[in-house]
Structure 1
Amino acid sequence: MLTASACQSESKMLSASVIGYNHTSAAINRFSVNGAGGPNLGPHQGGGKKSCCGVIPRHWVPGLRAIVEWEKDPDPRGYIKRDQYGQFDNKDYERHAANYSRHKVIVEIPRYTVAGTLKVHFLPCDQVRVSADNIKPGDSRYPYNYPMEMEEPEICQG
C-alpha cells in the first residue's frame, strides 16, 4: 500500500542542469543561478559545458524568478606576468583582478510547458535573461535567440 501511493506522488520540484551563454566581450569568471553554480565563460562563448544542479518547479508558475550572481573580467586577454614556473605573479594578478566587477540581478523566467535546463544569457550592459525550458537556443520557439557577438554600446542606459 505504501509503495503504490509513493509512486503516484509527483515531485513539485526538479533538478536542472545550468548552462551559460556569454554574448559580451568580457569574461564571466563565475556565475550562479538561484545558488547553483555555472561554468566560467570566455568572451562570446557558451552552450558547451553544463553544471549540476539547480532546482526549478516542474510546472511554471506566474512570477517565477531567478537570482543570478556573477563576476566579470572586462579585460580577459589582459597580460598577467608569470614566474619561472608558469604561475601568475601575485601582485600582477591582484592588479588585473582589481578591475573585476560583481553583479546580482533578479530576473523573470518566461513560461515553459516542459521544464528543462536553466539557461543563463549574459548580455551587454550587465543585462541577464534566464530560461528553464527544454527548448534549445536557435529553435524559433526559444525566447532568447541573441547573436553570440552582440554590439556593446559606449554608454549603457540606466
Structure 2
Amino acid sequence: MGAVSLSACQAGQEIVSAPVEGYNHTSANINSFSINGAGGPNIGPYEGGGKQVCCSVLPMKWSPNLKAVIEWETDPNASSKNNLPPLGTDEFRAAYKKYASHYVQHRETVEIPRYAEKVCSLKVHFLPCDQVRVSTTCFTPSHPNYPDTAYFQMKEPAVCPSH
C-alpha cells in the first residue's frame, strides 16, 4: 500500500476529527501553520500548547505510511518587528512590506505515528533546523507519559546542517 495522505481519505472510510495544537521549539516566530489544510495558531519563539484550533481529520484506524503535509511560515527576525514605524502610517506599510519579505515558507511531509482507538489532538512540533514532527498522544507535555519530552530539551545549533 502506498503513502496515505490525510487530505485524501478514501471514500467511505471512517474518520475522526482532531483539534490541532502547535509547539515551537525554535527562536523564530511561527506566523501560521497548517496540517493537511487545517490551520494552527501563531506561535511565538519557544511557546506552544494551550491553543487548539479545530480541526484536522484522521482515519479512525491507523495504517502504515499514514502521512501529513505540514506547511508553515516563519519570521526569523521576530524581535526586530518592534523597530517598525507607528502602525497605520504609510511609513509602517512600506517598512512592513520590506520586513515581511524575509518570512520563510516551509512544507514537509511527515509520518503520523501509530495511534490506538482514541486521538485527542494532532500536536505539531516545530524543531530546530526547520524540522517538524507530529504526535497524536492524549497526554500533555507535563504528563510523565508524554512521548515527546525530548523536543523540549533540544537546543538550536549555531549552524544547521545542510539537507
Evaluate the alpha carbon distance shift between residue 51 and residue 149 of structure 1 in structure 2; reply closer, same or farther with a 3 A threshold: same
Measured in 1, the distance between the counterparts of 2:128 and 2:67 equals: 20
SS in 2 for 1:146: helix
Alignment partner of 1:127 out of 131, 136, 142 = 131
Q: TM-score, normalised to structure 2's length?
A: 0.82
* Contact 1:68–1:104, Cα closer than 8 Å, also in 2: yes
Alignment partner of 1:105 out of 105, 108, 132 = 108
- Give the deviation of 1:147 after TM superposition: 5.0
Q: What does 1:66-105 correspond to in 2, within 5 Å? A: 66-78=68-80, 79-83=83-87, 89-105=92-108
Which has the greater radius of gyration? Answer: 1
Deviations 1:73-115 (A, max 9, x none): 00111122115x6897011101211111000000011111122
Query: Whose helix fraction is larger, Structure 1's or Structure 2's?
Result: 2
Q: Which residue does the alignment assign to 2:159?
A: 155
Measured in 2, the distance between the counterparts of 1:138 and 1:87 equals: 46
Alignment partner of 1:29 out of 28, 31, 36 = 31
Alignment partner of 1:51 out of 41, 50, 53 = 53
* Contact 1:26–1:73, Cα closer than 8 Å, also in 2: yes
How many correspondences in the alignment? Answer: 147
Q: Percent identity?
A: 48
Deviations 1:104-149 (A, max 9, x none): 0000111111222010000000000101232222434333113547
Measured in 2, the distance between the counterparts of 1:29 and 1:47 equals: 15
* Contact 2:32–2:72, Cα closer than 8 Å, also in 1: yes
Q: CA RMSD in A?
A: 2.0
Q: TM-score, normalised to structure 1's length?
A: 0.84
